[in-house]
A and B are shown apart, each in its own frame.
Chain A
Amino acid sequence: MYKFEKVHYKNIINIEKLTIHENLVTSIVGPSGSGKTTFIRLLNKLISPDEGDIIYMGKRLMEWDSVELRRKVVMLPQQPAIYSGTVRDNLLKGLLYSEREPVSDDVLLKMLESVKLNKDLEDDAELLSGGEKQRLALGRVLLMEPEVLLLDEPSSALDDKTELMIIEEVVDYTRRNNKTLVMVTHSNRIAEDFSDQIIRISPDEPVQIREVSR
């Protein structure tokens, strides 16, 4: 699905060759400061490499329209933004921004249930706790039904339960719908437990790829 060829970015990312497979869960691991977040920001073209090519679905990223790509490859960042307004406004934001039809309240309520957010659609989103905001942002992203989901590990400010819940939910979505997930994690344990492929990156060493048999 993704192919890296001699990709360099500001001395942070130096990858000679790498493939990320379709319909699988891939974890990106590495010590802090190893460029994990930078790596996934390359995948939805929030940034572009200084040198080399990244190929998505057979087409070089530089030939993809960035906005079109980001509507297929959606990223849930470490600290997702919550927009002022209600829980409903926030859930619908992704569909609105990617210029798609909004969904009914029934669909939204089901989504709240599946991300285990026990809130009303009318509730003020800015009053939610950190963990609740993260789950709201996850619901927002899942409603967009992305082909590829990019997950930066939830902020360390969150409790482990929320973090695990979010990863479980995302992995479940990926496997059920035959989608692709690329997630950044600091935890080898999480990587081992959930992924099919583990990529260890570091600015100074070649990438290490390991398949996990499931």
Chain B
Amino acid sequence: MSNDIMNLQLWQIGAAYVFIALLLVIVRRRGIGREREILIASIRMTLQLVLVGYVLVYIFESTHPLMTILAVGVMEAFAIDNIFKRTKEKLSGKLKKIIAFSMVTGTLTSILYFLFVVIRIYPWFNPQYFIPIAGMIIGNSMTGISLGVKGIAEGMRNQRALVESSLMLGATPARASREIVNSAFDSAILPTINSMVGMGIVSLPGMMTGQILSGTSPLIATKYQIAIMLGIVGSVALSVILFVILGYRTFFNQEDQLIQTDN
């Protein structure tokens, strides 16, 4: 058994598109009317991956740390923008700033700790490690903060009367929103906690699968997977807690009053 990965020829990739053709036939025959979306999705997937492949090759070949920093910066920007777009609630300018701040601070702290203390990569900007690990940590924290935003915004809207009641009893804004903040944090980290439960039994995690496919020993892949999972938990927790303890305050003004919403 060779430890080298088998490269795919172009015609082999082409052959894989048979699956899309099959899907199109089914959808067409049954009159479901999703052909357009399926085509667009397949084309987008193909183009985006080809593009990112070439970008990564370019970054890997360059030996300049700025390339790595730029790549991480772009990932952070896309992730933050994605959180804004995913949230159905109207976000105030202040809340958006706090989202960006928590996201960048939470993920960067975890990424740097993970790369320099846990894995100890060399050189420090080694894109082969830096970029995929930053990607996983940023992606998971993005989902976490999105859930946190939803929790805080919905909580403040649905429990407005309760929060105001607490203010009337002399509570500080922090005390009056404590239950909302805690429950937003809890619901934001729960999916990450749950994902650890089924790991390795229900399915093999993506990174581990990738490493195994590329010829890494499953034991090494396991060690990496455990370490990255812990890094993800840490980063999600850190960015979400930063977000919730800063974010609730944007619903109050300087006079400790609930900000009026005109709806």
Which residues of chain A have a CB within 8 Å of any CB of chain B? Answer: 44-48, 62, 66-67, 70-71, 74-77, 79-81, 83, 93-94, 97-99, 140-141, 144
Minimal Cβ-Cβ distance residue in B for A47 = B257
Known contacts A81-B161, A81-B162, A97-B175; A45/B255 CB under 8 A: yes
* Residue B183, interface by CB 8 Å: no
- Inter-chain contacts of A46 with B (CB < 8 A): 164, 167-168, 257-258
Check if A48 sits within 8 Å of B166, measured CB to CB: no
Q: Chain B, 148-191, contact with A by CB distance < 8 Å: what is the 0/1 string?
A: 00000000000001101111111110011000000000000000
Check if A97 sits within 8 Å of B256, measured CB to CB: no
Known contacts A46-B164, A81-B161; A71/B170 CB under 8 A: yes
Minimal Cβ-Cβ distance residue in A for B256 = A66
When the two chains form the complex, which single residue of B168, B171, B172, B256 contacts A77, counting CB atoms closer than 8 Å?
B168
Query: Residue among B161, B168, B171 with the most chain A CB within 10 A?
Result: B168
- Inter-chain contacts of B260 with A (CB < 8 A): 47
Check if A67 sits within 8 Å of B169, measured CB to CB: no
Other 4 A-B pairs with CB < 8 A, given A70-B167, A70-B169, A70-B170: A44-B168, A67-B172, A70-B168, A76-B168
When the two chains form the complex, which single residue of A47, A76, A97, A99 contacts B166, counting CB atoms closer than 8 Å?
A97
Complex: A79 Cα to B257 Cα, angstroms: 19
- Inter-chain contacts of A45 with B (CB < 8 A): 255-257
Q: Could you write out 25 A-B pairs with CB less than 8 Å apart?
A: A45-B255, A45-B257, A46-B168, A46-B257, A46-B258, A48-B257, A67-B170, A67-B172, A70-B168, A70-B169, A74-B169, A74-B170, A76-B168, A77-B165, A80-B165, A81-B162, A81-B165, A81-B166, A83-B162, A94-B169, A97-B170, A97-B171, A97-B175, A140-B169, A141-B169
Check if B257 sits within 8 Å of A67, measured CB to CB: no
Complex: A144 Cα to B166 Cα, angstroms: 13
Complex: A71 Cα to B168 Cα, angstroms: 8
Q: Chain B, 234-263, contact with A by CB distance < 8 Å: what is the 0/1 string?
A: 000000000000000000000111101000
Check if B257 sits within 8 Å of A66, measured CB to CB: yes
Check if B257 sits within 8 Å of A93, measured CB to CB: no
- Inter-chain contacts of B257 with A (CB < 8 A): 45-48, 66
Complex: A75 Cα to B256 Cα, angstroms: 16
Complex: A66 Cα to B255 Cα, angstroms: 6
Complex: A98 Cα to B176 Cα, angstroms: 11
Complex: A160 Cα to B123 Cα, angstroms: 79
Query: Residue among B162, B175, B176, B256 with the most chain A CB within 10 A?
Result: B256
Check if A98 sits within 8 Å of B161, measured CB to CB: no
Check if A98 sits within 8 Å of B170, measured CB to CB: yes
Known contacts A46-B257, A48-B257; A144/B170 CB under 8 A: yes
Minimal Cβ-Cβ distance residue in A for B165 = A81
- Inter-chain contacts of B162 with A (CB < 8 A): 81, 83
Complex: A81 Cα to B169 Cα, angstroms: 11
Query: Residue among B162, B169, B256 with the most chain A CB within 10 A?
Result: B169
- Smallest Cβ distance from A102 to chain B, in angstroms? 14
- Inter-chain contacts of B176 with A (CB < 8 A): 97
- Inter-chain contacts of A74 with B (CB < 8 A): 168-170
Check if B168 sits within 8 Å of A75, measured CB to CB: yes
Query: Residue among B164, B165, B260 with the most chain A CB within 10 A?
Result: B165
Complex: A151 Cα to B144 Cα, angstroms: 42
- Inter-chain contacts of A77 with B (CB < 8 A): 164-165, 168
- Smallest Cβ distance from B201 to chain A, in angstroms? 36
Complex: A45 Cα to B258 Cα, angstroms: 11
- Inter-chain contacts of B172 with A (CB < 8 A): 67
When the two chains form the complex, which single residue of B164, B169, B255 contacts A97, counting CB atoms closer than 8 Å?
B169
- Inter-chain contacts of B164 with A (CB < 8 A): 46, 77
Complex: A212 Cα to B64 Cα, angstroms: 85
- Inter-chain contacts of B175 with A (CB < 8 A): 97
- Inter-chain contacts of A47 with B (CB < 8 A): 257, 260
Complex: A47 Cα to B171 Cα, angstroms: 15
- Inter-chain contacts of A98 with B (CB < 8 A): 169-171
Query: Residue among B167, B176, B255, B257 with the most chain A CB within 10 A?
Result: B255
- Inter-chain contacts of B170 with A (CB < 8 A): 67, 70-71, 74, 94, 97-99, 144
- Inter-chain contacts of B168 with A (CB < 8 A): 44, 46, 70, 74-77
